[in-house]
């Protein structure tokens, strides 16, 4: 019997704290915008940038909302699990694999620039298209880093032509500071450990 009173006191204190937290949370929500198309950037040296972006893509698919995806560096030759899965939802996913591999594989700057330009033109079409609720521009940061596309052109389009209700997600290392500045949500993945440094190659189901 002596233990019952302290337990009731603990529960009462917990309930009071929870009530105050809920009231504070509800007050914050009162002045918030219900819906807004976000510009989202995933960058950093750590693994998980594309994986996290695809998580949002799959959430859209789960809610029956169409999405567009442009891969800027991945090639049609790459046997990626995400491409196989996305292909199973042709009514909800518009997928364009526009790359030819990493720049050290092509070793041809003109080809890389041409591929980046083609990918960007396709990306603009998807962003302008009212059908797509979200557009993922995978590894766009990479082509911007190598100056395959002018950052000023990309920034101007996102500011002037991205529909107000359209989510655009951009991934890749070394995001340009100008892009970070205009983004609504920026996440930097930090590398702590990676098996590649221990001699382990990229593995199916983990990296691709």
pLDDT tens-digit map of 20-61: 787 766 776 676 666 899 999 999 999 999 999 999 999 999
Mean pLDDT over 72-90 rounds to 85
| Three-state secondary structure readout of 146-178 | CCCCCHHHHHHHHHHCCCCCCEEEEECCCCCHH
Residues 46-59 as b or e (16 or more Cβ within 10 Å = b): bbebbeebbebbbe
Q: Do residues 186 and 55 touch, judged by C-beta distance below 8 A?
A: no
What tokens were used for 170? Answer: 């951009």
What residue ranges define each of the domains in the chain, with the CATH number in brackets? 36-198 (3.40.50.300)
pLDDT band at 14 (very low <50, low <70, confident <90, very high): confident
Block residue for tokens 């510009």: 39
Report which of residues 75 and 73 the model is more confident about: 73
Single pTM value for the model:
0.84
Cα distance between residue 183 and residue 186, in whole Å: 7
Q: Can you give the pLDDT at residue 145? A: 96
């Amino acid at each position: 019997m002596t233990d019952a009173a302290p337990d009731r006191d603990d529960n009462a204190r917990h309930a009071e704290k929870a009530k105050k937290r809920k009231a504070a949370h509800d007050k914050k929500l009162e002045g918030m915008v219900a819906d807004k198309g976000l510009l989202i950037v995933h960058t950093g040296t750590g693994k998980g940038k594309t994986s996290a972006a695809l998580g949002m893509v799959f959430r859209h698919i789960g809610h029956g909302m169409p999405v567009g995806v442009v891969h800027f560096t991945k090639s049609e030759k790459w046997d990626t699990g995400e491409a196989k899965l996305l292909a199973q939802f042709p009514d909800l996913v518009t997928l364009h694999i526009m790359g030819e591999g990493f720049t050290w594989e092509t070793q041809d700057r003109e080809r890389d620039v041409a591929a980046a330009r083609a990918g960007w033109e396709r990306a603009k079409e998807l962003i302008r298209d009212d059908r797509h609720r979200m557009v993922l521009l995978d590894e766009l940061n990479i082509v911007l880093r190598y100056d395959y596309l002018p950052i000023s052109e990309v920034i101007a389009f996102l500011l002037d032509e991205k529909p107000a209700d359209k989510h655009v997600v951009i991934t890749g290392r070394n995001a340009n500071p100008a892009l970070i500045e205009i983004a609504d949500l920026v996440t930097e993945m930090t590398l702590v450990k990676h098996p590649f440094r221990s001699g382990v190659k990229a593995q199916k189901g983990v990296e691709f």
